[in-house]
Structure 1
Amino acid sequence: MTVRIESQTCFFITENGEEIRLCPDVTIITDSEKAMSAVELNGQRVYITEAEADALTVAGAVDGRKHLKATDSDSVI
């Protein structure tokens, strides 16, 4: 798990150690190329699971995710 949440404070594990943010100051985005959710911290993307993204939104983070739609005709979606 790359994120821990305590009392509306988010603790992210990054390559450079731990980054701490207030949850309302965090915006969750969608990386369309990787089809993953992420947050940007100091210009660096930290990829998170959908469960972590949902937990962050419950704690007050801004949900800036967008739904991706498959366009390949072989898709099961």
Structure 2
Amino acid sequence: MSVSIDSNQICSFDTDEFQEQRPASELTVITVPDKAMSAVELNGGRVYITEAEADALTVAGAADGRKNLKATDSDSVI
């Protein structure tokens, strides 16, 4: 999967299932707690992205709907 953003803030997502282009302003980056990952919802599904990609999307104009997760297990390194 790859994510790219052009100079007009158009975001391109290229996955095994589909290719999609959307203006960054139409996207919201979310946190998926059970996977502890960021994602963007597209075409009724989720595209999981790295934190660097999430940051780049928000800089380009996507809404930042991420939530900070905190560990509750005493064995956690966090």
Unaligned 5+ residue runs, structure 2? none
Which residue pairs with 1:42 in the alignment? 43
What TM-score, normalized to structure 1? Answer: 0.94
Of 62-71 and 10-19, more deviation after overlay is shown by: 10-19
Q: What is the Cα deviation at residue 76 of structure 1?
A: 1.4
| Partners of 1:25 and 1:31 in 2: CA distance | 19
Question: What number of residue pairs does the alignment pair up?
Answer: 77
Question: What amino acid is aligned across from residue 67 of structure 1 in structure 2?
Answer: N
Q: Distance in 2 between matches of 1:33 and 1:13?
A: 24
User: d(CA) in 2 for partners of 1:2 and 1:29?
Assistant: 17
Report the aligned-residue RMSD. Answer: 1.0
Identity of aligned residues (%): 69
User: Runs of 5+ in structure 1 lacking a partner?
Assistant: none
Query: 4+ residue runs of structure 1 moved beyond 4 angstroms?
Result: none
